[in-house]
A and B are shown apart, each in its own frame.
Chain A
Amino acid sequence: MNKYAYVIGIGLQNTLVYRVNFLFRACFGLIPLMATIFLWRAIFEGKTGDTVAAYSLAEMISYYLVVTIVDALTAVTDDDWQIAADIRDGQISQFLLKPIDYLRYRFCLFLSGRFIYTSIAFVPVTLFILFQAEYFVLPADAATLGLFLISVALTALLQFLISYTMALLAFWILEISTFIFILFALEHLAGGHLFPLDLLPPAFGQVLAFTPFPYQMYFPVSIYLGKTAGPELWQGLIIQLFWVTAAYLLARWVWRRGIRRYAAVGG
C-alpha cells in the first residue's frame, strides 16, 4: 500500500476526533448566513427594479449558498496552525529523516480533513438549502456543473498551497498567527466571501483580476451561476491553473529556503 494512502487513513482517524466541534462549526456558521440572506431580502424589497448589479434575489441568495458549499469543500481550517506549530516545536525534523515529502504529507491530511468536515456539514447545510429551496438556483446544464467541480478542485489546491506557504513563514518568524489572520481577512474580502466581486466598481474588479484571490472562491461560484461562460470561462480556468502552478513552485522554493534556516528547536 502506498505510504500516502496510510497518511490519509491516519488523517481520517485523527480528524474524526473533532466531529462534534465540526458539527457545531457547521451549524453556527449558518446563523450569519441566514442573517445575510435577510439583509439581501430587505435590500431587494426596498428597490424598485428586480435586480442588483444583474443579480436577481434568487441568484444573490444562491451565491451565498454556493459559497458555503465551496467553503466546506476547500477551506483550510487548522492545517496552517499545525504546520506552524510543527516548525516551532521542531517536530518537522522527523520528516527530514524519513523518505516522506512534507508537502504531500500535509496535502493528504488536508484532503482527509476536508472529507470529514464535508461529510459532517452535509446534513445541516443540505437541510438549510432545502429550507431556502425557492431561492436556490441549479446550474444551467451538466457541463456547467462539471466545469464548476473542476474549478472547485483547483480552488482547493490554491487555498491549500497559499496557506501552506504562509505557514512556512514560521521558519523565519516565531509567531505567525497575526499574519494568518490578516491573510484570511484579505481572502475573505477579495475572494468574494462577503459579496459577489462584480458588485465592486469595475476599476477595483480589474485590479483584483490580477491577483489570485478571486480564484480562491468567486471564480467557481460565478461558473455555477452562469455569470462566467464561454471563452471567458476557459480563459479563467487557465489563469486559475496558472496560479495553482505558481503557488506550487513558490511553496517548494520557500520550503527549500526555510529548511536551510531551520534550527530544530527542541527536536
Chain B
Amino acid sequence: MKRHLSVYAMLWRNSLVREMTFKTNFILWIVVELCWFALQLTFISVIYLHTESIAGWSKWQVVMLIGAAHFIQEIFQALFLINCTNLSELVRTGKLDFLLLLPVNTRFLVSVRQVDLGSFVNAAIALGVMVYAARQLGFVPSALQIAAFLLLCAAGIAIHYSLMFLLATISFWTVRAQGIVWAYYNLFNVSRLPDSAFRGWFKVVFTFALPMLLVSNVPVRALTDRLESPFDILLLFSLTLLCLGLSELGWRFSVRHYTSASS
C-alpha cells in the first residue's frame, strides 16, 4: 500500500512536468472544457425562458445538477479518462508487457498512469457554479449534507471509471476499441438531466443497467434534501460495488487472453 502511494505521488509529479512543458495547450484545453460547460448552461437557460419547471425541477435546481454532473465528469477525466483510452494503445503496441513485469499491481498502474491536471481547474469552476446556484435558491447546506454529497460523487466517479474501464478491456480482442470508449461519452449527456423526466424502459435501463440517472441525480438530491427515499443511496452504493466487481472480473479475464504484440 505504501509503495503504491509513493508510485502514485511520482506519477503525479510526472504529469505536472508534462503539462508544464506545453503551457499554452494546457490553458487552451481548460478553455475547451469551459466552452462545453457553458453550452450546457446556455441550453438550460434557454429552455427555462419558456417554462417554469421540468418534471418538478426549477431552473437553479437543474443548474446545480448540471454543475454536479460536470464536477463528477471532470474529476473522472482528471484521474482516469486518458488512461482508459490509452489501454487499447498499450495492447496494440505490446507495451503492456513492460507494465505487467513491474512489481506493482498492473491494473492500478494502467488506471492511474497519467493525471490530467487541467480538469481539476474545471471541476473547481463547476463547484463555483453549484455554489452560485445554491445562493440563488437561498440554500445553505449543512456539513453532513456536503459530506454525503462528496461521498456520493465518489461513488458516481467509481461507476464511470468501472464502466469505461470495462469497455476499454474490449481492446484485448479488437484493435479499434477506442471508438467504443468514446461512445461512452454520449452517456454523460444522460447523467446531466433530471431523473424525473424519464419513464419506462429508458428509466429502467439507465437506472439499473447503466446507472447514469443515479450518478449525479442522487448526490444533488442528497445535498438539497430532495431524496424520494433513502433507498436511492443504497442503490447507488450497491451498483458501485457491482460495477467495480464486474470491471475487475472483466480485467482478469482479458489479461489472461493477452498474447502481446511483436516484441
Binding site for B on A (CB under 8 A): 18, 20-21, 24-25, 28-29, 31-32, 34-35, 38-39, 41-43, 45-47, 52-53, 175, 178-179, 181-182, 185-186, 188-189, 194-195, 199-201
Which of A25, A53, A189 contacts B50 (CB under 8 A)?
A: A53
Bound-state Cα–Cα, A65 to B243, Å: 33
Bound-state Cα–Cα, A185 to B193, Å: 19
Binding site for A on B (CB under 8 A): 22, 25, 28-29, 31-32, 35-36, 39, 42-43, 46-47, 49-56, 176, 179-180, 183, 186-187, 189-190, 193-194, 196-199, 202
Bound-state Cα–Cα, A43 to B51, Å: 7
A182 and B31 contact, Cβ closer than 8 Å, known pairs A21-B176, A21-B179, A199-B46: yes
Which of A32, A38, A53 contacts B186 (CB under 8 A)?
A: A32
Which of A28, A47, A181 contacts B32 (CB under 8 A)?
A: A181
- For residue A147, give the distance in angstroms from its CB to the closest CB of chain B: 27
Q: Is the CB of B51 within 8 A of A185?
A: no
Bound-state Cα–Cα, A241 to B51, Å: 36
A39 and B46 contact, Cβ closer than 8 Å, known pairs A21-B176, A185-B36: no
- For residue A96, give the distance in angstroms from its CB to the closest CB of chain B: 29
CB-defined contacts of B47 to chain A, threshold 8 Å: 43, 195, 199
CB-defined contacts of A41 to chain B, threshold 8 Å: 197
* A–B Cβ pairs within 8 angstroms, 17 of them: A28-B183, A31-B186, A31-B187, A35-B189, A38-B193, A38-B197, A43-B50, A43-B54, A45-B55, A52-B50, A175-B22, A178-B28, A178-B29, A178-B31, A185-B35, A195-B43, A199-B46
Q: Is the CB of B39 within 8 A of A28?
A: no
